[in-house]
């Protein structure tokens, strides 16, 4: 409980956990790239970016990365987060 709310048993084979982690990281990277492309497209359209964030985070197009990373982009905060 101190380390995780949910623990998955993935078997005994060496490397299985690492393979799952690579899949997660692949998707995380894709979602970060897509979020940045989307917010750039919105900016090029002249949209209110705070309103874009509000609408998208309440819509099917949302992702954890969009919701978590876009506020930093909008604030001009490019501190590495992962």
Residue positions annotated with a catalytic role = 21
Residue for token pair 């790239």: 33
CA-nearest of 51, 24, 29, 25 to 39 is: 51
CA-nearest of 74, 20, 77, 29 to 51 is: 74
CA-nearest of 68, 81, 71, 63 to 27 is: 63
Residue for token pair 């604030």: 75
């Amino acid at each position: 409980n101190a380390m995780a709310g949910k623990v998955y048993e993935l078997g005994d084979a060496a490397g299985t956990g690492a393979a799952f982690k690579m899949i997660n990281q692949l998707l995380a990277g894709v979602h970060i790239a897509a979020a940045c492309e989307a917010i750039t497209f919105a900016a090029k359209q002249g949209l209110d970016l705070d309103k874009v964030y509000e609408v998208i985070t309440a819509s099917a197009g949302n992702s954890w990365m969009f919701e978590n990373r876009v506020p930093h982009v909008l604030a001009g905060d490019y501190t590495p987060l992962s």
